[in-house]
A and B are shown apart, each in its own frame.
Chain A
């Protein structure tokens, strides 16, 4: 069999097995049928198992031909006489790394969650959304064109918002889910605009050097800048950092997979994939480095004053992702890929262990003979006390970014729309002779 045909087949299995699991669990839901936890566990386990094996096979095929990038058309999605969109994927080192990581970690999280969420009312909902998320990540990982990547990007965003709001009977997770979705949507505007601009100016939305060659100077700069803006949401880059620690309201396994392992790394991954478009754009790379450095400084400072382990881990994740973005901006894409992989695995482990932190700490202390390990010196103590206090206050308030956004932008928008609504209700009452309150 032709290697490209085989790769295409394996890619289909890797991409669509999670979709199939999601459909297999979601369809009985809308049909009103009940499924046992064992059935759900087996379905998800089988799909991730098959997906992981397919990814491993892809890895082996790529190892036989190192350095090669295989472009495969999975399907002709839409074809008109003058316009066509194909579901085109590319199998190369970055794709193989993220696909394998996705299948492996999602499979592990699935196995972990089967016990963690045992008897939880939202058990099935979680297992419908987890494979959906995995399929979105797979599309981001192997998508050759920005069209397919955008589709996967969107699926990841929707699944993310729904899983943050998993404990939906409490108000806070629901609000935080919406907050995350709002940030995603703002940044997705840039991604979709970049995709359309690529189509219009280069004739297609591939992220390769050939496409970059078709763009004029201005267009190339705009596309690069739009891509930088697009990744700011998923990467929780400054000033969009606030949603990520709040997203930890979701179940621990989904926090681990989204905000420790995969979702946050989709951001640097997209830039690694789009490197041919970024390479010559020094302004965009400079902007990326500046944003990443600011994010790292912000997340480090704020993370140090957090009082719960999940928030600390969230800010630690943001810091590391920001460092990876700096690496990308400097052109160290392979280093960024290695850093990303190591960070994803470490952070998943840390987040999954987070609920057992006290137990782990007590065990450590007991093994050390009952004494507390010595604490290191904090560099902040070298600063004058008023500066320390000011810094502490600023860090506690997360640099006042969220408050500023709420009062200066969101609050004003809300007031404007509420006022508009009141005017509309008055107008309706005048014309119809009946107010909304009477109608209710």
Chain B
């Protein structure tokens, strides 16, 4: 890993520590920052570790950094009312679930990591409706994933895709993820979906778009993304709308990672990391708003722009970045995905582009509903200094990587050959 990326990661760690010091709940905060540091440490220091012990490669390294920095960012922004011990432990569980999966060596360790990640995700959700709703889905995901890994072959691969789809909340398995957004604190829900950790199971073994079954599966994913983007538009509450939009975007990322074409797969991996960041930013803004005024009712235009202009600008940037607007990092990764294997299938291509177009409409619709309209009555504080600092840092990464994606390709993913060589 190049020195400049190490320096950037170190700077982010220092920033997170400084921000964390300005918060109360010192013990829980320290725990989260500690875990974040450990993850970063793994990413930066264990580069040459043997594969049978831990897999730190161009697939897992960016995820470790994103997860470490993301965890610290979440906690620096996390509203005080969501900083209970239960939520903090939940966030740490989610990080461990994600990380275990991407660094676990092939064979039994990855099966164990998958099953464990399902259990940890269920435990991370607060007791009550969110967990009750999630358990059947996570059980299905765990069973299908382990069975798929044991079976191998085409049937096994199909089961693995099913398992990852259930974990990501791909339609029609979306209810638990949307429910997590609805019933759990938004910050925790962001932890469930934004990192899209489940993709780790297929990141090194893409499906490819050859063969009728694969094409059908990919087409199904594109249609699922389209449907969930449509569902985001008809929602009457911010948390469910964010949930649906997140699920739709995660579905598109999943589709990109499945591409066996080296360019498309690299785009999918880039999208996986960068979309995590933009969804994290979008979710954190939603969480900050939720902590101030509860779930935002979208039956009317809420007019929050007047009270919270900073949140408005950042929400627009993050939501547009998540759907691949020009000038943001996801535009570059989307470009790579489009020029991968999917471009050889006109119908799939059309469905994929229709899905990302529908997501862009859904994102702008959400922004207009929340921030435009007659000014919100009553006092709603805008972004605090710590919130603004962290969100701006994420925004800066997204914009810089969008304008100059080569920096990312040269620095963050230093060995693109190593990534593309992962594709069989």
A159 nearest CB across to chain B (Å): 11
B388 touching A32, Cβ below 8 Å = yes
B327 touching A155, Cβ below 8 Å = yes
B368 touching A165, Cβ below 8 Å = yes
Chain B residues within 8 Å of A82, by CB: 262-263
Write out, one digit per residue, whether chain B residues 274-304 have a CB within 8 A of any chain A CB (1) or not (0). 0000000000000000000001010001010
A79 touching B406, Cβ below 8 Å = yes
Q: Does A432 contact B (CB under 8 A)?
A: yes
Q: Are A432 and B183 also in contact (CB < 8 A) when A31-B392, A154-B326 are?
A: yes
Q: Does A186 contact B (CB under 8 A)?
A: yes
B326 touching A428, Cβ below 8 Å = no
The residue that A174 contacts in the complex, of B237, B326, B372, B406, with Cβ under 8 A, is B372
Chain A residues within 8 Å of B303, by CB: 168-169
Q: Are A189 and B373 also in contact (CB < 8 A) when A83-B263, A421-B234, A434-B183 are?
A: no
Contacting chain B: which of A36-44, A191-199, A395-403?
Answer: A191-199
A161 touching B132, Cβ below 8 Å = no
Within 8 A of B (CB), among A157-181: 158, 161, 165, 168-171, 174, 177-178, 181
Write out, one digit per residue, whether chain B residues 321-359 have a CB within 8 A of any chain A CB (1) or not (0). 000011100011001101100011010011001100110
The residue that B357 contacts in the complex, of A30, A186, A197, with Cβ under 8 A, is A186
Write out, one digit per residue, whether chain A residues 98-116 have a CB within 8 A of any chain B CB (1) or not (0). 0000000000000000000
Q: Are A424 and B178 also in contact (CB < 8 A) when A83-B263, A171-B301 are?
A: yes
B313 touching A29, Cβ below 8 Å = yes
A174 touching B368, Cβ below 8 Å = yes
| Distance between Cα atoms of A424 and B262 in the complex (Å) | 37
The residue that B234 contacts in the complex, of A31, A158, A174, A417, with Cβ under 8 A, is A417
B268 nearest CB across to chain A (Å): 14
| Distance between Cα atoms of A427 and B178 in the complex (Å) | 12
| Distance between Cα atoms of A383 and B358 in the complex (Å) | 45
Q: Does A144 contact B (CB under 8 A)?
A: no
B388 touching A200, Cβ below 8 Å = no
A165 touching B372, Cβ below 8 Å = yes
Q: Does A251 contact B (CB under 8 A)?
A: no
Q: Does B230 contact A (CB under 8 A)?
A: yes
Most chain-A Cβ atoms within 10 A of its Cβ — which of B132, B234, B297? B234
Q: Does A332 contact B (CB under 8 A)?
A: no
Write out, one digit per residue, whether chain B residues 367-390 have a CB within 8 A of any chain A CB (1) or not (0). 010011111000000110000100
A431 touching B373, Cβ below 8 Å = no
Q: Are A433 and B343 also in contact (CB < 8 A) when A81-B417, A417-B233 are?
A: no
Q: Are A80 and B405 also in contact (CB < 8 A) when A169-B374, A434-B128 are?
A: no
B336 touching A178, Cβ below 8 Å = no
Write out, one digit per residue, whether chain A residues 305-326 have a CB within 8 A of any chain B CB (1) or not (0). 0000000000000000000000
B234 touching A77, Cβ below 8 Å = no
Residue of B nearest to A82 (CB): B263
Q: Does B151 contact A (CB under 8 A)?
A: no
| Distance between Cα atoms of A26 and B295 in the complex (Å) | 28
Chain A residues within 8 Å of B182, by CB: 428, 436, 439
Interface size class of B (residues with CB under 8 A): 35 or more
| Distance between Cα atoms of A181 and B361 in the complex (Å) | 7
Q: Does A440 contact B (CB under 8 A)?
A: yes
The residue that A151 contacts in the complex, of B174, B326, B357, B368, with Cβ under 8 A, is B326
Q: Are A147 and B335 also in contact (CB < 8 A) when A81-B416, A158-B320, A428-B175 are?
A: yes
Within 8 A of B (CB), among A355-412: none
Write out, one digit per residue, whether chain B residues 311-325 have a CB within 8 A of any chain A CB (1) or not (0). 001100000100001
A147 nearest CB across to chain B (Å): 7
Q: Does B205 contact A (CB under 8 A)?
A: no
The residue that B353 contacts in the complex, of A31, A189, A420, with Cβ under 8 A, is A189
Chain A residues within 8 Å of B346, by CB: 193, 197
Residue of A nearest to B358 (CB): A185
Q: Are A417 and B301 also in contact (CB < 8 A) when A178-B368, A186-B357 are?
A: no
Residue of B nearest to A429 (CB): B129
| Distance between Cα atoms of A121 and B374 in the complex (Å) | 13
B313 touching A26, Cβ below 8 Å = yes
Q: Does B309 contact A (CB under 8 A)?
A: yes
Q: Does B133 contact A (CB under 8 A)?
A: yes
| Distance between Cα atoms of A318 and B262 in the complex (Å) | 45
Chain B residues within 8 Å of A196, by CB: 338-339, 343, 349, 353
Chain B residues within 8 Å of A414, by CB: 234
The residue that A185 contacts in the complex, of B133, B343, B357, B392, with Cβ under 8 A, is B357
| Distance between Cα atoms of A32 and B308 in the complex (Å) | 10
| Distance between Cα atoms of A194 and B327 in the complex (Å) | 21
| Distance between Cα atoms of A414 and B365 in the complex (Å) | 14
Q: Are A181 and B364 also in contact (CB < 8 A) when A77-B406, A431-B175, A434-B128 are?
A: yes
B357 touching A189, Cβ below 8 Å = yes
Q: Are A80 and B416 also in contact (CB < 8 A) when A432-B132, A434-B183, A439-B129 are?
A: yes
B373 touching A427, Cβ below 8 Å = no
A438 nearest CB across to chain B (Å): 9
B24 nearest CB across to chain A (Å): 23
Q: Does A1 contact B (CB under 8 A)?
A: no
Q: Are A417 and B357 also in contact (CB < 8 A) when A76-B406, A161-B364, A428-B133 are?
A: no
Residue of A nearest to B333 (CB): A78
A177 nearest CB across to chain B (Å): 7
Q: Does A334 contact B (CB under 8 A)?
A: no
Q: Does A413 contact B (CB under 8 A)?
A: yes
A433 touching B417, Cβ below 8 Å = no
Residue of A nearest to B229 (CB): A417
| Distance between Cα atoms of A414 and B306 in the complex (Å) | 30
Chain B residues within 8 Å of A80, by CB: 263, 266, 336, 409, 416
Residue of B nearest to A187 (CB): B357
| Distance between Cα atoms of A150 and B130 in the complex (Å) | 41
B242 nearest CB across to chain A (Å): 14
A77 touching B405, Cβ below 8 Å = yes
| Distance between Cα atoms of A188 and B90 in the complex (Å) | 41
B86 nearest CB across to chain A (Å): 18
A181 nearest CB across to chain B (Å): 6
Q: Does B360 contact A (CB under 8 A)?
A: yes
B368 touching A177, Cβ below 8 Å = yes
Residue of A nearest to B389 (CB): A31
A23 nearest CB across to chain B (Å): 9
Q: Which residues of A contact B (CB under 8 A)?
A: 26, 29-32, 76-83, 85, 121, 147, 150-152, 154-155, 158, 161, 165, 168-171, 174, 177-178, 181-182, 185-186, 188-189, 192-193, 196-197, 199-200, 413-414, 417-418, 420-421, 424, 427-428, 431-434, 436, 439-440
Question: Which 7 residue pairs spanning A and B have beta carbons closest together?
Answer: A432-B129, A151-B326, A168-B372, A434-B129, A432-B133, A185-B357, A417-B234
Q: A31-B388, A85-B335, A181-B364 are in contact. List 19 more A-B contacts (CB 8 A).
A: A30-B310, A30-B313, A30-B392, A32-B310, A32-B382, A78-B336, A78-B405, A151-B326, A158-B364, A168-B372, A169-B373, A171-B373, A177-B368, A185-B360, A188-B357, A193-B349, A420-B227, A433-B132, A440-B297
Query: What are 9 pairs between A and B in contact, CB < 8 Å?
Result: A78-B335, A78-B409, A79-B406, A83-B336, A85-B335, A192-B338, A200-B343, A424-B178, A439-B129
